[in-house]
Amino acid sequence: MRMPRRLLTLLCVFTIAVPLAQPASLHGQSLTDLSRSFQALTEQTVPGIVQVFTVGYGALSPRQGAGLAIGERTGSGVMVSPDGYIVTNAHVVEGARRIDVLMSEPAVEGAGTTSILKPVGLRLSATIVGVDVETDLAVLKVDVTDHAYLEFGDSDELRAGQIVLAFGAPLGLQNSVTMGVVSAVGRQLNPDDRMVYIQTDAPVNPGNSGGPLVNTVGQVVGINTLILSQSGGSEGLGFAAPSNIVRYVSDEIRDHGRVRRGQIGVFAQTITPTMAEGLRLINEWGVIVADVFQGGAGQRAGLQPGDIVVSLNGKPMENGRQFDVNLYRKPIGQPVSLEVRRGLERLTISVTVSERTDDPSRLADMVNQDENLIEQLGVLVIKLDRTLASALPWLRDPVGLVVAAQAPGAPQRRDGLMPGDVIYSLNGQEARTIGALRSAVGALRSGDAARSEERRVGKECRSRWSPYH
C-alpha cells in the first residue's frame, strides 16, 4: 500500500530524531516511567469516582409493545466535594424513583486490598439536589464526610492533542479507565445548540455517562456525556461537557437549587464573510450586536446595534455562541467589561448582568409546596396571568397553568412535563386554575390514559398521551 507523502515525511523525521546509538534500556526506562505516571494518576483519581444505579420507569422496547416498565440503569459520577456532592448527567437519573451510588472504597472496613479482585464497594442511597436539562447535568448528594473528591481544571486551557483519561463504568464495569487525546474543543453538534462540548477519542461507551474526563494532573476537565456511533459502541467520537460549564452549573444548583443564567439584553451573532462584505466590516469573523432589547441592561449601558464585540472581560470573542456561554456564567448583578468597535472608535462599556428572561427554571422561585403542588403529576404549577405571561416571551395567550418546577423526589423524565410547559386541559377538561387541574387529575385511576394539551417552550401547542400512575 502506498503511503501518503505527508505521513511518510513525518515518520522519517521522527526516525531521524532518535539517536540510533542510544541504548535500548533507556527507551524501556522512559516507557516504564510513563506507565508508572499513569498508574499513579489512576490510583489518585479512582477514589473520587462513583457508579450510579437508578431504578425507575422506562419505555418498553418495540418488541415488548407500548407502555412503561420499571428497570435499572447504570451510569457514572464524580465526587466534587468532601461532603458528598456528586456530578453526573441528567439523562443518567431521568425517570429515577430510587438512586444508589457505588463507592470505590470497600463496604467492610479493613477488607483486604492485596488481591487482584477488589472487595465489594460501599453502596449508598443518593438524592437529587437539582437537574439542568440544557447542559444535561445533575447534582446528587450522599451522606458522607471528608470523602475523596476531584478538583475542577480550567477547560478553557484545553487544546487539541492534549492527553486525557476517561473514568467511569462502561457497560457496568466499575472503575474503568481509558486514555486518548482531545480531538477538538468548543464543538457544537448543531448550530443552534446552546451547549458546547469537548471532543475526545478516549474510548467511552454506554455507562461512562457522568464520569469525568481528567487531565494529566488529575483535574476534571469535562463530564463525559455522549458518543456519536453507528454501532452503539465507541468509535472515537466522544463528547464531554467542559469543566468550566460543569463547575458553574453545579455551584448554581448547590447554592440556588437551579441554574441562573446571565444576559445583558442583546442578541449577538457570529460575523460571516457574507455579513462582513454586506456591512463592509474589516474582519470576516467575530461577534456583532445584531439587536439591543428595549429597556435591557445593554441599552442602558449604551450598546448599539452594529457594535462589534472585541472582548469580554479582556477575553477575545470569536463567535456568538462563545459570547453567550461566557456571559451566562457571570454572576447575576455583577458588571462585565466589553471592548467594542463602533466605526473607527474603540470603546470600553461596562454592563450589569441580569438573569436570562427566557429561562423557565427561574419560575421555581415563585412557588411553594403547599399551594402549587400537583402531587400525582409530580410538578408545581402557577396560574398564568398577563403579568406572568409578559415575562415568558414564548407564550401567546395568558391562560392555563405553567409548570414552574418538578416536585422534589419526582422522577426526572425528558418526555414528561418540564419547567416552562403550559397545561391547557387534561382529558378535555380545561385547566385554567390549580383547583381545576387537581379535580381532573383526581378523577383518574391508576392505569388510565391521560391526554393533556400543552405548549412547550418555544414550540407549538401539542396533545400528549401518557399512562397515569
Q: Which residues are marked as active site?
A: 91, 136, 209
- The three cell numbers of residue 294 are 428595549
The single residue listed with the C-alpha cell 439587536 is 291
How far is the C-alpha of 387 from the C-alpha of 409, rounded, in Å?
30
Cβ contacts of 381 within 8 Å, gap of 6 or more: 367, 372, 374, 401, 402, 403, 404, 423, 434, 437
**CB of 50 within 8 A of CB of 102?**
yes
- The three cell numbers of residue 387 are 403579568
Q: Are strands 238-242 and 262-263 parallel, antiparallel or unpaired?
A: unpaired
**CB of 420 within 8 A of CB of 360?**
yes
The single residue listed with the C-alpha cell 461507551 is 205
Which of 47, 224, 76 is closest to 150 using CA atoms? 47
Burial class (CB in 10 A: 0-12, 13-18, 19+), 419: buried
Give the number of C-alpha atoms closer than 13 A to the C-alpha of residue 64, restricted to the C-beta side: 7
Tell me the CA distances in angstroms from 306 to 90, 103, 281, 343, 421, one per residue in order: 38, 54, 10, 9, 35
Q: Rg of the chain's alpha carbons, rounded to an integer?
A: 26
Burial class (CB in 10 A: 0-12, 13-18, 19+), 84: buried
What are the φ and ψ backbone dihedral angles of 162, each rounded to 5 degrees?
-70, 145
How far is the C-alpha of 141 from the C-alpha of 295, rounded, in Å?
40
